[in-house]
Structures are given as structure tokens and as C-alpha cells.
Amino acid sequence: MRLSRGLIWHSLLLPTASQLTTQEWCDRNPKFPTFPTNQSLNALSYGFCRSWTFSSIVTNDKLLMLGLDGGAVRGDGNNTRVYMVDTNLSAPFDLTDGTNWRLTSLPAEIHKFKGGVMWENSSNTTLFSYGGQFPGKSAPKGNDFYQYDVQNNRWSVVSTLLSMQRLTDGASINVPELHKGFFLGGYQSKETTEDVPDDGLYRFATSMLSFDTNTNNPSMVDAPFLPSQFGTVSYIPTSGGGVLVYFGGETPSSPAVDSVDGLNVNSWDYVWIYDIANNKWHRQNTSGKATPRTEFCASTVYDKATKSWQIWTIGGANYKTTKVLDTVSVLSIPSFQWFTAAPARTRMSVSCQRVGSQIFVIGGRQNFTGRGGEDYGSIAYIYDVNKQAAVDSFDPKLTTYTPPDFVVAAISARATPTKWAHPDVQKLFIAKNASSGPNKQISGAEIASAVVGTILGVAIAAGLIIFCMRRKQKSRKQATESTPHSAEQEQSEHDAETREKIGDLIDLRETVIHELPASPSSEQLSPTLHEVSPTSLHELTASGVPEMAASIDHNEMDAREQIATKLSKLQRDRNYIERRNGTG
């Protein structure tokens, strides 16, 4: 990786929507009234003319979108204006009701780029708008990108001291839990920046951009399959820091070409997996049948019951025939099998954002042409993955997810691929500590729960050992008084057993500590004090603790010292974990 030297920026206050004029070019639709002249446009209540290549993000119970420009909004004839669109996700709403889509005009210094992407920092307080192309004759100079302070409603122009090229038509993923934004592929041209030679060539990126949204530091990561355009990249929080999964896209014959048409379509018979922690790429073969496409979007959902992820691929068009598709392809991981779900709506050049089991399919066009086809009734629709159906209403209560029956049946029969690309890939997906949700740091409370729960289990075992040991000593004392000639022999036999069992107890410490996950989810933590029930005690009894204790008939003080030593070591390990995570 090549790290940046730093960034500079200046701030711009966000103005409110200003007076706009009537737009003339939208397809006429008698359903919507004519927008009155010289009135502020603050919602999509006058209808929506199709627009595509939005950047979008879900944050703080809102869906935010950039790239909706004047000339794509019914009632606005100022095609130099750029808007931010948002809608509230905390309550149900009808997507076809334009009043639910709020418009805010951006400062003039924020150039109107189409086809950009959005990322956020780990605290969800700052958004970043990167990339895209300028729809005018030429793009502005420089590689500036834009930063939005959510709380203070303020935009900033951010300039990199390291050349952070403005790209378009790549694949991007926002990973706030890693405070990272990734951008794969894409190209530069006169439509993205003036800072390219005036030779009419499209210059493709040959590295992946990794942007730290907490420190504002960009870096470049080698990617063996670049250059490429479009495609999709998804984040999966496996063990070891998570992975990126890339598939699709088209590849030029060289990094600099005079046209982005007629490129080579990448096979969908494999995916590229990026091991983030170890900075390694692997090409993993897939099985089943997918429908290759271009200018589509994808969203990833995790199913806890089957411990699998499904990447739902929606929209797009056949790159060769230009036919716009409604086919939905689903890639299940870690089996790496493709499936076909019920169709969505026919639309390409879309972006996706998932909330629970509902995937917002945003913007897009219905024809593979510059005009894009007829207007449609809403800026977005929802594909409900549980119903496998396109709907026009949002419900925030739909948070649970159930994979289709055909997916469950297939991965129940074969949960992993027939052949792994590399043993390291298998370890990422099969390791016992792989997590389903976003990776997070262990909190102090969680550490306490894990360690206290472990200590409690040991204490219960120790108590049972000592209790049984005392009973056994009393019984043996009585037996010794009646048969003193056998005491030395029995003492010798039990000495060895005592050392072995106490050694097993001490070794338990190492097992507990070594099996503590590096970044556990809440389900992986040991029980806390109030969670230990009579059932837990019964399980301890059934596990053979009395039998272990029954063999211990002396050295009670030695056992106490061993247990005290064990608990002390557990406490030290707890302190170490706290220091490692900065919670102590």
C-alpha cells in the first residue's frame, strides 16, 4: 500500500432550496400538475423524471442520495443545480408519494457529478462523496472530493496531497465498522477531471482505492484482475478482519482505450476474494447459473440459521445485447452457489441500499439509451427478499430475513464449495470464530461478562471438587480406621490421579483463553453471573465433575492454591484483553 501525505479542506455552509423555474423536457404525464414558477422546490411532490447513477447511503435512520440534478426533477429547469435527497426510515411510508422525498440544494462549489459513491466514518457523523463524472463539457480541475458534516449540515471540499484520482464507473462498498470506503476499477477521462491528457482516451485504474474515513487517508491496493469497469463489490465480516467479494464487470484490452464500449465481459463462474487483514486476493470458483449483466447493484444479507450470506444481484442489462433485465441472481456464501429468485422490475444503472429484508433499488433507466426510456412513478422501489417481490411501500419493522427454501435446501446438502481456492480462504469462512455481523471491538462490559462467566464456571467446578473431596476424605478416614493396613497403598494410587485431575483443571484456563474470539459477537460471549441456571449446574454434574472430585482425597490446601492461581491468571488475561482494545 502507498499511504497519502495528508489532506487539506475548506468548509461551505449548506444553503436551503432556492427559487426554481419550470422544467420543460420531462415526459409529459397528466398525473402530475405543472410546477408553479418562482416557487421553492423542496420535495418530489410534482413527480419524478427518471435519473440514474445515483450515489446513495443509509445512515442515522435516513436514506440519502446524491446525483439528482436539475433537469431530472419535474418542475426544475435549472440543469446546473445538484440536490441531496433524503427520506426518513423510522416510520412506514409510500415510495410513490413525492412528499416523502425531501430535496436540499447543495452549494454551488459542490460540482454536479453523476455516478459517484458515498462512504461514512465509524461514528456515522461524516459522509464522503467520491468519484463520478461531470455531465457538462468538461469536469473541473483537481481531484477534490466532498465531505458532509451531518450534525452541522456543512459541506467541505477535500483535496488530497497524494494524487487520489477521481474515477467513475467502478465498484464501491461502504464499510463503516472498519472506517473504510473501497473503490475498485473505473476510469478517468475528460468527464471526470481536466487533469488528464487531451487525447480522448479513457484511463482505467489498475489498483483499488482504500479510504480511511476516520483519518481521511487514502491508499492504493494492488488488484490482479484490474483494469475493469462496473461489477460489484461486497463486504462479508468473516473471521480475521473480513473479506471483500468482487464479481462481474467488463475488462478493456489495455488500461488506456479510446472507447468504453465493446469491452470483454468478465465470467461469473468465479469471484475475487480480498482478505483485508492479510492483503491477499484469491479467485474462488462458483457453481450454479448466474445471469451476467452490467450496470447492476447488489446487497448482502446474513442468515444466522444457516450461517450463510446471500448476495442479491438486481437490475442491469446484458452488455452484448443491451437488453435491460429483471432477473434476480443470488450468490450464497460460503457454498459459492448461484440461484435465480423471482424477478424484480426492469431497470439498469441502479444503486442498492438494504434495510432489514428490504432492498431499495434507486434510480436507473429502462432502456440502454441516453434518454433512458419513460419516466417512472418513484425515485426508488423496494425488492423484498423475503417475499421475492417488488413493492412500493417501506416498513421499518421488517428486520428479519429468511433465505428462499431452494437456497436453504441446497446449502443444507452442500454448505461449502467442492474445492476451495486456497486453504487460507477456507479458514476465513470456516473458522469457529467467524462472525455474522459487523466486526467490533470488545467492550469492557463484554470482557467482564466473558471472563466472569468463565471464572464462575471454574468456581462451580472447584466448589464441587472440594465438596466431594471432603466427603471422600471423611469416608476414607473411616475406612482407614477400620483397615489401616491398606492406607499407604491407596494413598499412592490416588496421588497420581489427584495430580492428573488438578492438572486438567489448570489446563482448562489455557483452553478458555485460547478459545476467546478476537472480536466476538454477543452470542459468543460466556454467560454472566445471572445467566447461570440450574441447568448449567446439571450440565457440570453430567460432565463428570463429581467423578473427577471423587478421586481427590487429600491435599485440599494444594487444590485451593492451584485454583487461586488459575483465577489470578484469568484476571491477568482479562486485563490484557482490556489493554489490547483500549477499554481498560
Please identify every stretch of the chain with a pLDDT value under 50, giving residue numbers as ranges: 1-25, 38, 432-434, 437-452, 454, 456, 458, 479-488, 498, 501-502, 505-554, 580-584
The residue type at 398: L
362 occurs within a structural domain? yes
Distances (CA, A) of 216 to 57, 159, 556: 18, 10, 60
In the 8-state DSSP scheme, what is residue 346?
S
Q: Which residues of 110-148 are buried (b: 16+ CB within 10 A; e: fewer)?
A: bbbbbbbbbbbbbeeebbbbbbbbbbeeebeeebbbbbb
Distances (CA, A) of 478 to 142, 394, 485: 93, 76, 13
Q: How many domains does the chain have?
A: 2
327 plus 391 within the same structural domain: yes
pTM passes above 0.75: no
Please list, in sequence order, all residues whose beta carbon lies within 8 angstroms of the beta carbon of residue 246, skipping any fewer than 6 positions away.
171, 184, 225, 231, 232, 233, 234, 271, 272, 274
2 occurs within a structural domain? no
User: Of 164, 144, 61, 62, whose CA–CA distance to 104 is shortest?
Assistant: 62
User: Of 169, 165, 111, 167, whose CA–CA distance to 136 is shortest?
Assistant: 111
Helix axes 444-482, 556-581, angle to 10 degrees: 170
Displacement of CA 318 from its chain's centroid (Å):
27
Specify the long-range contacts of residues 499-505, CB closer than 8 Å, at least 24 apart: 501/548, 501/549, 501/551, 501/552, 502/552, 502/558, 502/559, 502/562, 504/548, 505/458, 505/461, 505/462, 505/465, 505/548, 505/562, 505/563, 505/566
User: Of 562, 520, 545, 524, whose CA–CA distance to 457 is shortest?
Assistant: 545
User: Of 408, 235, 429, whose CA–CA distance to 337 is shortest?
Assistant: 408
Domain end position, chosen among 380, 401, 428: 428
263 plus 336 within the same structural domain: yes
Query: What DSSP string describes 44-67?
Result: STT--------EEEEETTEEEEEE
234 plus 164 within the same structural domain: yes
Cα 133 from Cα 166, distance rounded (Å): 8
439 occurs within a structural domain? no
Q: What is the per-residue pLDDT for 143?
A: 74
391 plus 527 within the same structural domain: no
Cα 442 from Cα 448, distance rounded (Å): 10
The residue type at 542: A
Cα 117 from Cα 325, distance rounded (Å): 23
41 plus 131 within the same structural domain: yes
Query: Residue 18 sits in a domain of what CATH number?
Result: 2.120.10.80
CB 353 within 8 A of CB 330: no
User: Of 577, 535, 540, 552, whose CA–CA distance to 459 is shortest?
Assistant: 540
In the 8-state DSSP scheme, what is residue 32?
S
113 plus 220 within the same structural domain: yes
Query: What DSSP string describes 201-257?
Result: -EEE--EEEEEETTTTEEEEEE-TT-S-BS-EEEEE--GGG-EEEEE--EE-SSSEE
127 occurs within a structural domain? yes
Domain end position, chosen among 428, 456, 473: 428
Distances (CA, A) of 191 to 1, 95, 133, 166, 578: 28, 32, 5, 10, 50
294 occurs within a structural domain? yes
6 occurs within a structural domain? no
User: What SS3 state is found at 390?
Assistant: strand
392 plus 479 within the same structural domain: no
Cα 240 from Cα 273, distance rounded (Å): 13
CB 29 within 8 A of CB 170: no
The residue type at 374: E
| Secondary structure in 3-state letters for 137-193 | CCCCCCCCEEEEECCCCEEEEEEECCCCCCCECCEEEEEHHHCEEEEECCEECCCCC
423 plus 515 within the same structural domain: no
206 plus 294 within the same structural domain: yes
113 plus 175 within the same structural domain: yes
Q: Which residue range(s) make up the domain with 477?
A: 444-581
Cα 504 from Cα 100, distance rounded (Å): 64
437 occurs within a structural domain? no
Residue 15 CB neighbours (<10 A): 13
217 plus 349 within the same structural domain: yes
Q: What is the per-residue pLDDT for 13?
A: 39
Displacement of CA 438 from its chain's centroid (Å):
6
Cα 167 from Cα 188, distance rounded (Å): 5
305 plus 338 within the same structural domain: yes
What torsion do the CA atoms of 398, 103, 151, 66 make, to the nearest 10 degrees? Answer: 80
Distances (CA, A) of 69 to 14, 40, 194, 430: 16, 15, 21, 46
4 occurs within a structural domain? no
